[in-house]
Amino acid sequence: MKTLNQQLAQYAAYHRDPRNVATHLVGVPMIMAAVVVLLSRPGFVLAELPLSPAVLCVAATLLYYFVLDIGMGCVMSALLLPALWLGAWSAAQATSVWLGIGLGGFVVGWIIQFIGHYFEGRKPAFVDDLVGLLIGPLFVVVEVLLMLGLRKDLAPAMKERAAA
């Protein structure tokens, strides 16, 4: 399994244009929240715990993030738990509301992404490696953390490997 730095470096190689990175700051969270919303139906109960496909997918994704980096796993947990709440709330609404939030966010998020990749002049990273779908949200969070002066330990390796 690749390390966090290796995953971020590979993803960063597809995201060098600042306009593309900016579109990802909006598009990736929209897509991730939309996927959680769409996977929040159907709900079921297992051992008296309310579950949905969203809960299972988020749990598996968070496990992967924690394996990559404990700190990033904690940050991603703090971001994905509200997405699960939004998904549960949306799933309890009328189907039109649930689909409007889920499909609307998904489509608009991808439109924003493809605009960014138009600027970049390069295809999205997930086309070459499906793990990029999981790394994209981490990349966005790392970019924000770096803007805030945090997790500077990830910046040199990311930029060095991306330039290689």
Count of domains forming the chain = 1
Q: Would you say 50 and 3 are in contact if contact means Cβ atoms under 8 Å apart?
A: no
Cβ-count burial of 95 within 10 angstroms (0-12 exposed, 13-18 middle, 19+ buried)?
exposed
74-125 pLDDT, tens digit per residue, is 999 999 999 999 999 999 999 999 999 999 999 999 999 999 989 988 887 7
Range of the domain at 132: 4-163
Report the C-alpha gap between 74 and 63 in whole angstroms.
10
Residue 161 has pLDDT above 70, yes or no: no
Query: SS3 for 51?
Result: strand
**Total-model pTM:** 0.90
Tokens of 29: 């969270």
